[in-house]
Structure 1
């Protein structure tokens, strides 16, 4: 059963249950009101009977009966009895219905009694007169109320059925309207194939569960798109990038073995093979590192990372490397203890090291400067080198995998460092951009939002 049908049924059941309670309460209150009203009518009968039979002493019994029948309509199943102090019926010569002495004494004690006797309602009063003390009891069947209640039940039944049908139809319509964004979401999800993973579903403007579902689905698609891009990039480029050094190694080895050569020639051939092997090792390392970054991000728990402490650790590690130039740090002293981001420290260190390593490589191991500041847009890290800068034609492609200006400058780059750095930083809601520094080195700006 579809969600909209279940919602319509649940809403209808809840609404009709409340309606049933209201109708039942209305019926109960109305029946009690009619019952009380009929008791009041019987009470009036007892007082009228007392005035006719006990107060009018000069009028004969037959005349009283004629006046009573003339001016008072007889109720359905009506019985009126007057009992004297000895509990004997008087004035009315009809013994078809009598009350026992226990009930008569109860009326004397309480003054007035109301109760139901089967389908009849009974009212008894104690009346003092100059002729003595009397008990007057009147009973009758409220047939008109029974008729009204039956009509009311019929009307309520038809009203209940009509409202039930209207509620069911309107609930289906309302549920369909509310779940319309979900239907749109489902139809858009059906359009996603392996060749259009960049497609994103509409998130809408309502801050509801469907909007939250769409937003989280888009985040999932972004992660899947990155994984598929990596896979396609690996298939499209890795084979070529790996085949080139392997082919070069094979050709160099075949040429070296084609005839007897001098020791110097063999050394040149081996050095060439070693360079190709190092290049291939760099490519493989970059690919494995990128794959490991995906695995670690999927399984790692984020934690608060102090950017100041991490940069000091990186500075210390670079200072211990052989032939490494100086990494100069500059902090915003007022906020250096508060610059904390939510990230995986291992991955974040990989991203920073990739950018710093590029700075040393392109500047021939000249000093790399790193500043850390708290600015209006967030926590800003700038990493600057003293190299020749990045050519205008290369700037749009520097964050693409397997693209490296270092290859053109014979720096033995693999084109994976900046791609991995940008990918990792974006995973932690940060941004990495190249600031315009002309031909006087390169400056990379990293921005993290505040926690």
Structure 2
């Protein structure tokens, strides 16, 4: 059974149960009221009978009977008896005993008695008169009450059925209206898949449970997207960062084996391989740290880093291995305040990726790197001689797997700037494209105050 049907059913059962209880209370209350009213009417009949027969001494019995039948409406199945102190019926022409002596004595003892005898209602009173002590009993069938209750029952049954149908229809309408956002949410969820992990369901402005489910689903999709990206990112990052040192190690080893060399030459080769191995170890450590930070499993291991010294190290490595013209211009020479809190391996990977991108898209022309200070920030401006990044693409270049390398005749996985942006943000910094110069990227990192 669907949720909306269950809601409609439960709501209808609760509503109709309450309605049935109210109708039953009204019915039995009305019945008791009519019974009490009829008992009062019977009591009045006994009192009138006492006045007519016991106190009107000068009027004959036949005349009293004529008055009684003329001015008092006879009740359905009415029976009235007056009993003297010897429990004998008197005054009224019908001298049948009708009630037992036990009943008459009970009335005489209690002074007033009323009870139901099957469908008949009975009232008895004890009346003292100058002629003696008398018991007057009257009974009748309240046919009018039976008719009224029967009509009332039919009306209530019709009302109950009619209102139950109306409540059922209205509850289905209300349930469908209430669950409409859930139905929309379910239809949107069907669109999610491995090929569009960036998909998010629409979140409403209300703070109901369905909106909470939508937020939880979107949060789950973000986690899945990050995990999926991490899987691809780690492979792409490893390939991106480890290709150069591995190639260098292979070339160095092949050159060393190409001919016989002296001991010193072999030592130089082995030392070069050791250096490249250490560099690979640092890179792998940094990539693993980046992966763990992506999953937010651990905090990044940060330490004070001198940016000017890191940039000089980067410059030497680029000139040593690739012989490319990387110019470092430090406007903070001799300034001990050029310190940021960072992971040196990750930060170097980020800067290397930006520099590599700059050389790639400027056809290996000169790349300049400026170190400046602005307020509480240290800025690294990397400027190349290429065409720059068009404004229409500036929001996309930092997304994973977004690349224009094929159009420029270059190889690339579209992970360099994404990884650089990720690292800089993890270090509480920002990376952006200069508004004045599209071929300039600016890295801003918070300055560590001494």
Q: TM-score, normalised by structure 1?
A: 0.70
Alignment of 1:372-383 (within 5 A): none
Offset of 1:225 from its aligned partner?
1.2
Determine whether 1:353 maps to 2:336. no
Instruction: Name which of 378, 381, 384 aligns with 1:389.
Output: 381
Question: What's 1:285 paired with?
Answer: 285
Residue 275 of structure 1, CA deviation:
4.4
Question: Structure 1: how far apart are the matches of 2:137 and 2:304?
Answer: 109
Q: Which residue of 1 aligns with 2:75?
A: 75
User: Is this contact kept in 2: 1:398–1:418, CA < 8 A?
Assistant: no
Q: Does 1:12 align with 2:12?
A: yes
Contact 1:328/1:370 (8 A) holds in 2:
no
Q: Can you list the C-alpha shifts for 1:352-371, whole angstroms capped at 9, x where unaligned?
A: 53279749998xxxx99999
1:76 Cα offset (Å): 2.2
The answer to whether the 8 Å contact 1:79/1:97 transfers is: no
Q: Which residue number corresponds to residue 444 of structure 1?
A: 445
Q: Using the TM superposition, give the Cα deviation of residue 35 of structure 1 relative to its aligned residue in structure 2, in angstroms.
A: 0.6
Root mean square deviation of aligned Cα: 4.4
Q: CA, structure 1 residues 69+414, in 2 after alignment: closer, same or farther (shift >3 Å)?
A: closer
Structure 2 partner of 1:88: 88
Local SS of the residue matching 1:389? strand
Match of 1:233 in 2: 233
CA distance, structure 1, for counterparts of residue 396 and residue 159 of structure 2: 72
Distance 1:419 1:24 in 2: 71
Change (3 A) 1:209 1:129: same
Q: Deviations 1:3-37 (Å, cap 9, x if unpaired)?
A: 11111111111111110111011001110111111
Q: Residue 174 and residue 184 in structure 1: after superposition, are their counterparts in 2 closer, same or farther (change >3 A)?
A: same
Change (3 A) 1:415 1:175: closer
Q: Give the match's secondary structure for 2:342.
A: helix
Task: Provide the residue aligned with 1:419 in structure 2.
Answer: 422
Quick check: 2:303–2:343 contact (8 Å CA) kept in 1? Answer: no
Residue 146 of structure 2 corresponds to which residue in structure 1? Answer: 146
C-alpha distance in 2 between matches for 1:326 and 1:57? 136
1:96–1:177 distance in 2 versus 1, CA, 3 Å: farther
Deviation, structure 1 residue 52: 2.2
Matched-pair contact (CA < 8 Å) for 2:200–2:218 = yes
Distance in structure 2 (CA, Å) of the matches to 1:222 and 1:114: 80
Q: Is the 8 A contact 1:352 1:421 kept in 2?
A: no
Provide the rounded CA distance (Å) in 2 between the counterparts of 1:359 and 1:369.
19
Cα deviations by residue, 1:120-155 (Å, 9 ceiling, x for unpaired)? 111112223332222211111112211221221122
- Say if 1:120 and 1:159 are closer, same or farther in 2 by CA, change over 3 A: same
Change (3 A) 1:223 1:280: same
Distance 1:261-1:359 versus aligned 2 partners, 3 A rule: closer
Q: Distance in 2 between matches of 1:415 and 1:144?
A: 91
Q: Which one has a bigger Cα radius of gyration?
A: 2
Question: 1:449 matched to which residue of 2?
Answer: none
Structure 2 match to 1:117: 117
Report the TM-score, using the length of structure 2 for normalisation: 0.71
Tell me if the contact between 1:107 and 1:126 (Cα under 8 Å) persists in the aligned partners. Answer: yes
Equivalenced residue count is: 383
**Pair 1:101-2:101 in alignment:** yes
Contact 1:435/1:445 (CA < 8 Å) preserved in 2?
Answer: no
Structure 2 counterpart SS, 1:242 = helix
| Match in the other structure for 1:335 | none
For 2:198, what is the secondary structure of its paired residue? coil
Give the 5 Å matches for 1:92-241: 92-96=92-96, 98-241=98-241
Take 2:341 and 2:398, find their aligned partners in 1: how far apart are those partners? 14
Corresponding position of 2:45: 45
Tell me, which stretches of 5 or more residues in structure 1 are unaligned? 303-309, 317-323, 331-350, 372-381, 404-412, 426-430, 447-451
Q: How does 1:306-385 map to 2 (within 5 A)?
A: 314=303, 353-354=342-343, 358=347, 384=378
- 1:97 Cα deviation from its structure 2 partner: 5.3
| Structure 2 unaligned regions, length at least 5 | 306-312, 314-333, 352-370, 403-415
Residue deviations 1:22-78 (CA, integer Å, cap 9, x gap): 101100111011111111111121122122222322332233223323333332222
Shift of the 80–326 alpha-carbon distance from structure 1 to 2, 3 Å rule, reads farther
